[in-house]
Structure 1
């Protein structure tokens, strides 16, 4: 089985890659930091010598990189069974006072890149009449965060993209799942004094993907909302 995952060296992306590898997936990875990517690839190859892992330095804000990564992925794997659009950009800001580029930048990473990759990789999946696309949205997709206005807009758009893709790809046997995590304990919360129990673990999001992949061929989980037990932070 073959998977493609974006934004893989930290947090949710790293957890997803580890669980996919543990379930015998060959994986193509991308991240913006070459050193971190090389270290991740080395760790995976040592832990799973019988599997194949490939990596490309790519910035999902740059559409040239996005297109090159799409081509690179299929060149390495030949075909893809799973695509996880995980890479995201979060710029906390008041929508009335934010920098002019804030919305545009977040739309590029959080919407334009998944839009292109999904369309491109789906062409390969259609040949096998099978495949699964996961979009890592956010609780902000359905409950706007006032201090992250443009982020909320972009994640709402990603959820909408997921719904459109679900209907468009249904006739071809391709599944689409949107995952909406609440506050997740990643590097974004570095330095927090809150206990880990107030957060979702990145592994929780990764486990939800594995659970979806283990369901019967006729089942498609369209949306998964995962929130901290005691509510948002």
Structure 2
């Protein structure tokens, strides 16, 4: 039996084809390299918009013993999503694992975020994973199973000020993952969510760039909150995980024969989520985040 005709075996990564989106940096980059190093012979499909960066990562993975296909693509373009899946299936004959890792954070007060920016946030963080999953589910079902792993965030369970658009996209991804998990279990297709906390990646730089594109908050009621937000990266530095550390959690999920629905990749993440969503009164949680993000300065009348 050829590789493309073999049945899917959960957790046996060395025999699988793994498609990783957002593979040109951060968690996607780290995951590709770790998979190549730990599972020689693994087949990787790496996609992102930056072709030169993809090729550099592919070269490193190939040196470690992986068989790599790079496909530059903009996942907000439906035609490119279809082309991506068709190329992957034509090249390797199958895709066993889909890692929906591509994403970014649109930060800012909702009042100041243009509608187009909110729509793009959902296009990247929600609609692209939906499109890729829909495109690959038939092939996974035919080959006897597969695994869809969605990179969410602690912000997909706990919302905070200035992160409404981002959290909404991740909350949506969590709900979609839950529905898919139940729908696809009869076909031996697992669906898993990874929930990182702060990670030392390009995420913060991209978030700052997105904020810079918003209307200037100076002179608006939100100025104190934006000023506080600009200092948060330094405060969170000690809590930040590396991309490699998050990638090890992803691999833990991918190598499990019976993967859990969710894996938290944050220091004290499980405790934080329990406190914020189950134990503490909502008003207390609101006040905590309002102080943390400088909303309390607005409430106290310290307006620009």
Name the TM-score, length of structure 2 as normaliser.
0.70
Q: Is the 8 A contact 2:31 2:247 kept in 1?
A: yes
Within-5 A mapping of 1:191-230: 193=234, 197-216=238-257, 219-229=258-268
Superposed CA RMSD: 2.1
- Whole-angstrom distance in 1 between the partners of 2:27 and 2:160: 20
Q: Within 5 A, what are the aligned runs for 1:14-163?
A: 14-22=29-37, 23-24=39-40, 25-48=42-65, 51-163=66-178
From the CA coordinates, give the structure whose radius of gyration is larger.
Answer: 2
Structure 1 unpaired stretches of 5+: none
Tell me if structure 2 keeps the 8 A contact 1:198–1:229: no
Larger fraction in strand = 1
Say how many residue pairs are matched.
Answer: 229
Q: Distance in 2 between matches of 1:64 and 1:85?
A: 17
SS at match of 2:110: coil
Name the structure 1 match of 2:228.
none
Query: What is the alpha-carbon distance in structure 2 between the residues aligned to residue 196 and residue 102 of structure 1?
Result: 27
| Counterpart Cα distance in 1 of 2:152 and 2:76 | 17
**Gap regions ≥5 residues in structure 2:** 1-15, 206-230, 273-288, 293-304
Q: What residue in structure 2 maps to residue 173 of structure 1?
A: 188
Q: CA deviation at 1:122?
A: 1.5
User: Cα distance, 1:90 vs. partner?
Assistant: 1.7
How big is the shift at 1:135? 0.2
Q: Decide whether aligned partners of structure 1 residues 195 and 98 sit closer, same or farther in structure 2, where only a CA change above 3 A counts.
A: closer
Q: TM-score, normalised by structure 1?
A: 0.90
- Corresponding residue for 2:227? none
Q: Measure the CA separation in 2 of the matches of 1:194 and 1:38.
A: 35
